[in-house]
Amino acid sequence: MKKTLFYAVLLLITIAAPYLFPDYGTQLATLWLMIIVALTWDMTGGQMGYNSLGNIFFYGTGMYVAALITIGMVHPIGEYTDASRSELMLFTEGQYFTGLIVGSLGAGLFCALSAVIIGYITFGLRGPYFAIGTLGVAIAAGELVSNWDWVGGGQGIQLPVYPGDLDTGKVVFYFLFAITGVALFIFLKWLYSTRFGAAINAIRDDEEKAEAMGIHTMRYKLTAWALSAFFVGVAGGISAFQLIHFEPLETAYQTINLGIFMVVCVLLGGKGTLWGPVVGAILFHVIKEVTWNYLLGWQWVALGALIVVTVVYFQDGIMGWLMHNKPEWFGMRVEKKEQEGTA
């Protein structure tokens, strides 16, 4: 009963937030993006023990796929991305929204597929080599896209501005991210309670043993990564429309920003728990926005320090700490399963 009430209140806050704080619409939308990437990172990193540093690949690829689908349905892409074109190439409202929906979902599917292909190779790498390998994939992708003229190269891609009225425009992206995030959360809550969840936990705890027990580890690893890639891809697609203009190296394949932030969020909140990534993302995002407001110039030093301190001194994260110190809290709120997850 208490639990139902808890979730109901949370849901209410989620829906009311953009109306309560209309000036912070973009920051709130970004918060949901952080929650999504943190939750998806934790699927492989926390629950399965494969620490990827390259999940940003799916974010960037999602942005590009969504944009290219949208543009490709209306205009020839090569002409659209040509900087020197003089004629206007515009989109109607219908084309915009079709692009937004089809593009984002298409981006998710494309990313899931690419996760299977890339994963087939990289999941052979163990430990830090997996992290380095996936990081390499993300960096290489950014560099290659930045040299690919057809998609605009280093100029990036410009999408149309939101065509509807201003007030709906302010909340529409918030709700797109929020719906994706809530769906992801519910999906993961269910997933971790199934055999699948147990299997990927077994892979984390001892892969050889899991294999010996008859678990097709590769199949589970690929499925888990593809699922997480799907959600990151969708989020990337929505981001593309929210940002309107993006370019490969610093926005789409932003390896050293969002690519690492998602990992830090998870570590901060608590690896291998359902709530950890959510709590971590909220805390990290708040700290980040505050430092950007009040420590101008020193914001990166503060962030770097936060990363070092989290990683070195506080690796169990907030949830880990709470579970250790206040186990009775969790008896009330969260099922036992998640506690086992942190073991």
Partner 1 sequence: MDQFLSNIGLLFEFPIVNLKIIIDGLMIGALFALAAYGLALVWGVMNVKNLAQGDFVIAGGYVAWYLSRHGMPPLLGVPVAFVVMWGVGWVVYRLVISRVIERDLFTSLLATFGLAIIMAQMLNLLFGSDTQSIQLDYDTLYFFDFIDIPIAKLLGVLMATALAVAVVLFMKKSRMGQAIRATSQDARAARVLGIDTEKVYSFTFSLNSAICGAAGAIIVMVWVIQPFYGITYSIRSFVIVTAAGLGNLPGVIAAGLGIGVAEQYGAHIFGIGYQQAIAVLLLLLVLVYRLVQQRRVRQSLK
Partner 2 sequence: MRAYPRCAEESGFVSHHQYLEEYNPMKKSLSLLGCALGASLLFSHTAAAQDCETITLGSAISLTGKYATNGIHAKNGYEFAIQKIKDAGGVQFGDKCYNFNVIYYDDESKGDRGATLAERLINQDKVQYMLGPYSSGLTKAIAPVTEKYQIPMVEAEGASRSLFNQGYKYLFAVLSTSEQYLASAVTLAAEKADDPSKVKVAVAVENDPFSLDIRAGVLEDAAKFDMQVVIDEQLPRDLSDMSAILTKVKLLKPDLLIVSGHSKGAATAVRQIGEQKIDSPMVAITHCEAADVVGNFGAAANDILCSTQWAETLTYEDPLFGSAANYEKEFKEAFPEYKDKSVPYQVAQASAAVYVFKDAFERAASLDKEAVRDAIAATDMMTFYGGIKFSEFGNNIAKPMVLRQIQDGEYNVVAPSEFASHPLNWPRTPQ
Nearest to 18 by CA among 163, 239, 236, 168: 168
Applying CB under 8 A, among 7, 120, 129, 329 the residue interacting with partner 1 is 129
Part of the chain binding partner 2 (CB under 8 A), chosen from 82-90, 102-110, 205-213, 228-236: 82-90
Phi, psi of 245 (to 5 degrees): -110, 135
Which of 28, 4, 5, 55 shows the shortest CA–CA distance to 225? 55
- Other C-beta atoms closer than 10 Å to the C-beta of 291 total 18
Burial of 186 per CB tally in 10 Å (0-12, 13-18, 19+) = exposed
Check residue 311 for interaction with partner 1 (CB under 8 A): yes
Out of 52, 55, 122, 146, the only residue in the binding site for partner 2 (CB under 8 A) is 146
Q: How far is CA 282 from CA 198, 254, 264, 288, in A?
A: 27, 20, 12, 10
Query: The tokens of 140 are what?
Result: 């290489």
Nearest to partner 2 of 162, 192 (CB atom): 162
Q: What is the per-residue DSSP string for 228-272?
A: HHHHHHHHHHHHHHHHSEE-IIIIIT-TTTHHHHHHHHHHHH-TT
Partner that binds at residue 124, options partner 1, partner 2, none, CB closer than 5 to 8 Å by kind: partner 1
Q: Is 155 in the site for partner 2 (CB under 8 A)?
A: yes
Q: Residue 246 binds which entry of partner 1, partner 2, none, with Cβ cut-offs from 5 to 8 Å by kind?
A: partner 2
| Count, residues near partner 2 per rule CB under 8 A | 40
Alpha carbon of residue 26 to chain centroid: 16
SS3 content of the chain, % helix, strand, coil (to 5): 75, 0, 20
- Options 161, 186, 213, 309; binder of partner 2; rule CB under 8 A: 161
Residues touching partner 1: how many (CB under 8 A)? 38
Which residues in the 230-269 window bind partner 2 by CB under 8 A? 243-247, 249-251, 254, 257
The yes or no reply on residue 300 touching partner 1 (CB under 8 A) is yes
Determine which residue in the list 78, 124, 164, 169 makes contact with partner 1, applying CB under 8 A: 124
Can residue 62 be called a binding residue for partner 1 (CB under 8 A)? no
Q: Using CB under 8 A, which of the segments 57-65, 141-149, 225-233, 327-335 binds partner 1? A: 141-149
Q: By CB under 8 A, is residue 51 in contact with partner 1?
A: yes
Residue 157, SS3 per DSSP: strand
**Near partner 2 by CB under 8 A, which window of 81-89, 110-118, 213-221, 224-232?**
81-89
- Residues 253, 11 contacting (CB under 8 angstroms): no
Residue type, 198: A
Using CB distances below 5 to 8 A depending on partner kind, what does residue 85 bind out of partner 2, partner 1, none? partner 2
CB atoms within 10 A of CB 278: 24
Q: Residue 305: name its binding partner from partner 2, partner 1, none (Cβ under 5 to 8 Å by kind).
A: partner 1
Q: Which residues pair with 245 in a beta bridge?
A: 158
Question: Pick from 228, 181, 252: which is nearest to 52 by CA?
Answer: 228
- Give the integer Cα–Cα distance in Å for 133 and 123: 9
Strand-pair category, 157-158 with 245-246? antiparallel
Rounded to an integer, what distance in angstroms lies between the CA atom of residue 272 and that of residue 324? 14
Partners of 332 in the β-ladder: none
Residue 92's binding partner out of partner 1, partner 2, none, with CB under 5 to 8 Å set by partner kind: none
* Partner from partner 1, partner 2, none binding residue 301, C-beta < 5-8 Å depending on class: partner 1
Q: With binding defined as CB under 8 A, does residue 169 bind partner 2?
A: yes
298: contact with partner 1 by CB under 8 A: yes
What is the contact surface with partner 2 in residues (CB under 8 A)?
22-27, 30, 82-90, 146-147, 153-156, 158, 161-162, 166, 169, 243-247, 249-251, 254, 257, 296-298
Q: Which residues are near partner 1 by CB under 8 A?
A: 51, 53, 121, 124-125, 127-129, 131-133, 136-137, 139-140, 143-144, 146-147, 256, 260, 263-264, 267, 297-298, 300-301, 303-308, 311-313, 315
